[in-house]
Amino acid sequence: MNHTFAINIFNTFKMSKGLSSSSIGRKLMMAMSGFFLLVFLLQHFTINFLSVISEEVFNEVSHFMGTNFLVQFILQPILMFGVVFHLLMGMYLDRKNKLARPVKYEMESANNNSSWISRSMLITGVMIMLFLALHFYDFWIPEIKIKYIDGDMSGLHDGKFRYWHELNHKFHDIYRVAIYCVAFVFLSLHLMHGFQSSFQTAGVNHAKYTPIIKLCGYIYAVVIPAGFILIAIYHHLFRVTLL
């Protein structure tokens, strides 16, 4: 067993040398970035869901995340790189796949060999990126201005933490709530294929465990986006004026 394990490690090392230059390597990097974003999305949802449970706890966690050096200057740049890399690599792989297929064959076999969701990953991915631009405009850019341009790292407004009220205020507008809800539907569609596809690309394909992974993928793809929709609707229904 130890001998087999050593061979597998050696083969993995050999493959890694050409990781970025091979089709399989690029797909594997796409899957790894997908895993990273899945973990981030779960963490981001957990923090935001605290705003529904406890204003005080949400404020404390938000202030910690917003002022922590590791989060702000190491993890946040890595996250941004991961998002951009995932989109660009997805666009590249999608184009390579289309160029590699005869047009007639692609049109005849598309419906037979893949689902609409899997064929629309680029579309849903681009829609998510457009939503992220709005999300950055709503939350990230104002935070950068307050903390690093205005120089206010206190997180306070009139002597109280401002994070919960700022989040709540963004969802006063019903049109913004609608945009967020539609965006999370696109996210759900993207995750339904992306979750299990990442595991399959990484080589996790087992008769016993693959059905479990697919089930977990569907649960994740429904629960997380639905949770974000719930957060948006909650803050719209329970509007509080920011003094």
| Span 232-243, average pLDDT | 87
**pLDDT score of 78 more than 80:** yes
pLDDT band at 10 (very low <50, low <70, confident <90, very high): very low
**pLDDT score of 9 more than 70:** no
Query: Hey, what CATH topology would domain 26-103+114-237 get?
Result: 3 helical TM bundles of succinate and fumarate reductases (1.20.1300)
The domain limits of the chain are 26-103+114-237
Note the pLDDT tens digit of each residue in 201-225: 988 888 888 999 999 999 999 999 9
Note the pLDDT tens digit of each residue in 53-66: 999 999 999 999 99
DSSP track, the chain: -HHHHHHHHHHHHHHHHTGGGSHHHHHHHHHHHHHHHHHHHHHHHHHHHHHHH-HHHHHHHHHHHHH-HHIIIIIHHHHHHHHHHHHHHHHHHHHHHHHHS-HHHHHHHHHHHS-HHHHTHHHHHHHHHHHHHHHIIIIIHHHHIIIIIS---S-EETTEE-HHHHHHHHTTSHHHHHHHHHHHHHHHHHHHHHHHHHHHHTT---TTTHHHHHHHHHHHHHHHHHHHHHHHHHHHHT-----
C-alpha to C-alpha distance for 206 and 200, rounded to whole angstroms: 9
Contact (CB, 8 A) for 187 and 225: yes
Q: What are phi and psi of 60, to 5 degrees?
A: -65, -45
Contact (CB, 8 A) for 180 and 230: no
Note the pLDDT tens digit of each residue in 164-185: 999 999 999 999 999 999 999 9
pLDDT of residue 103: 58
| Span 119-126, average pLDDT | 93
> Does 228 or 107 have the greater pLDDT score?
228
Phi-psi region of 59 (alpha: psi -120 to 50; beta: other; left: phi over 0): alpha
pLDDT of residue 20: 55
